[in-house]
Amino acid sequence: MGAERSCVVIGTGFEGPHFTVWNTVYTAIGAAIFWGKSGRTKLRIFCLSDVLDFLELPDGRSRKCIEFVIFVVLGCLIGIGFVKPNSVQQALTAGFAWTGVFAKRV
């Protein structure tokens, strides 16, 4: 009788985030609520302000909109990437929580 061979499949161990419409929407809402509560006068994203200063964007309405959009997009990418929310509560929390890691209070 011959020796039996077993085959073991080794995965990468890394599972990328799963973006769905609803977890993205609710994570964006969480980030937007946090921005609305603290705003750009109390929150600054590390390096983002420096990059916008380097690009010489004037401190006006367009810069505020750009900062808000980048803030919400980063909130979705980082929040969903870290938390992988499966419920509305988790998605909202992911939108809130990422700011504690990547934003500083001024």
**pLDDT digits over 38-50, tens only?**
766 676 666 777 7
Q: Is residue 11 part of a domain?
A: no
Whether 26 and 87 have beta carbons less than 8 Å apart is answered as no
Whether 75 and 99 have beta carbons less than 8 Å apart is answered as yes
Among the listed residues 40, 21, 81, the one whose alpha carbon sits nearest the alpha carbon of residue 97 = 81
Q: Is residue 29 part of a domain?
A: yes
Residue 103: the pLDDT is 64
State the average pLDDT for the chain: 77
Q: Is residue 7 part of a domain?
A: no
Q: Is residue 56 part of a domain?
A: yes
Residue ranges making up the domain that contains 92:
21-105
Look at the chain and report how many structural domains it folds into: 1
